[in-house]
Amino acid sequence: MGAVVQDWRDIMKTTWSGVRAMTVASLAAAALSPYAAQAAQPDDDPDKVARWIDFREGTFKGRTIDTHGDAVIKLDAPARAADAAVVPIAINAQFPQSPARYIKKLYLFIDENPEPYAGSFEFTPESGLATIETRVRVEDYTFMRAIAETNDGKLYSAVRFVKASGGCSAPADKDEDAAERTAGQVRLQAEGQAVAGKPELAQLMVRHPNRTGMAMNQVTRNYASAYFIRKVSVTYANKPVMTANVNFSISENPNFRFYFVPSGSGELKAFIEDTKNKHWDGAVAVKAQPGSAQTSAMK
């Protein structure tokens, strides 16, 4: 039987002699990996995706979208997501907001989702930086599109391909009633020391099941109805800085990171409404250190 059976000590030997070669190979792989990640993105032809075309025509009425919008927004999403129910994404604005030039609205569209339009985020010059970070549900392997509308009415898009699989380790089904009873705890905070006139990062977390209405409870075999946060309005010193109109594409316990420009002291306030017309709010006083007059928005 010696022919079909290898001795494991031989394998251990090859391991050691192979170490040097492997290190060199891995170094090469590590150096190449950013390019490999780029190459893994399949080509997108936005003129061939029926549901995207429908949405585009309905929402933008034939206006041109610059598909090389890298100078305006970048979409950051993992190429592979282990948990399709929580895929972290960031739409990163590439220039600071100013009254002369700013991003007015960001749209998020996920081609393969049952409801592909995930929602929109509106900004003002007071936002400082029209960057939004959140977590979304993603069905399957899909293109994800972020569209920025600037104050001059121009449209720019950024696209990423996401392979969301997972589910192997989905947590046990939870108690929907309990999730609903505890819904609405709001946590709003500003990150680090705010400096007057400088875009300040804020984070809003809301405890909410944000149910899709499409998931079957494995125990009861029932479908709980869709129930989600549909609107989030954030103001600073009573001026809007971020308004989200969203749906169940946002993951459970919605989490948003965004910017605002503090000036001296003022209150950051969030107002949240869900599909049962329940509403909650959160507020935090922000005391900004005096800063230089020059705004420097980029990190």
Partner 1 sequence: MTVRRLRALFFTLLFAVSTLTHAAMSGMPAPVAIAPGVYAFIGDNDAVAPANHGIVANNGFIVGQDGVTVIDTGSSYRYGRAMIEAIRKVTPLPVKLVIITHQAPEFVFGAAAFRDEGVPILAHARAAQLIRERCSICLANLRKTLGEDEMAGSRVTVPDQTVNGTTEIESGGRKLQLLHFGPASTPGDLAVLDTQTGVLFAGGLVSNGRIPELRNEQISGWLAALENLRGLDLKTVVPGFGKPLRGDDIMRTGTYLRELEAAVKQAYTSGVGLTEAMHTVQVPAFRNDKLYAIAQPQNVQRIYLQLEKQ
Burial of 6 (0-12, 13-18, 19+ CB in 10 A): exposed
Binding of partner 1 by 214 (CB under 8 A): no
Q: Which is nearer to partner 1, 133 or 180 (CB)?
A: 133
Binding of partner 1 by 226 (CB under 8 A): no
Q: Which is nearer to partner 1, 245 or 253 (CB)?
A: 253
One residue of 7, 43, 45, 47 binding partner 1 per CB under 8 A: 7
Identify which range of 11-19, 44-52, 104-112, 270-278 contacts partner 1 by CB under 8 A.
11-19
Q: How many CB atoms lie within 10 A of CB 43?
A: 5
- Classified as helix, coil or strand, 120 is strand
Quick note: the x/- pattern for partner 1 over 16-55, rule CB under 8 A, is ------xx--xx--x--x---x------------------
CA distance 106 to 89: 13
Give Cβ neighbours of residue 51 (< 8 Å, ≥ 6 apart). 111, 116
Q: Which of 285, 244, 241 is nearest to 265 (CA)?
A: 285
CA distance 290 to 198: 10
The DSSP secondary-structure symbol of 69 reads G
Binding of partner 1 by 170 (CB under 8 A): yes
Q: Which is nearer to partner 1, 233 or 255 (CB)?
A: 255
Q: Which of 250, 86, 249 is nearest to 166 (CA)?
A: 86
Q: Which amino acid is at 211?
A: R
Q: Which is nearer to partner 1, 22 or 53 (CB)?
A: 22
Q: Which is nearer to partner 1, 30 or 100 (CB)?
A: 30
Residues lying near partner 1 in the complex (CB under 8 A):
1, 4-8, 11-12, 15, 22-23, 26-27, 30, 33, 37, 76, 78, 80-83, 86, 88-90, 133, 135, 141, 165-170, 172, 191-192, 201, 203, 205, 218, 255, 257
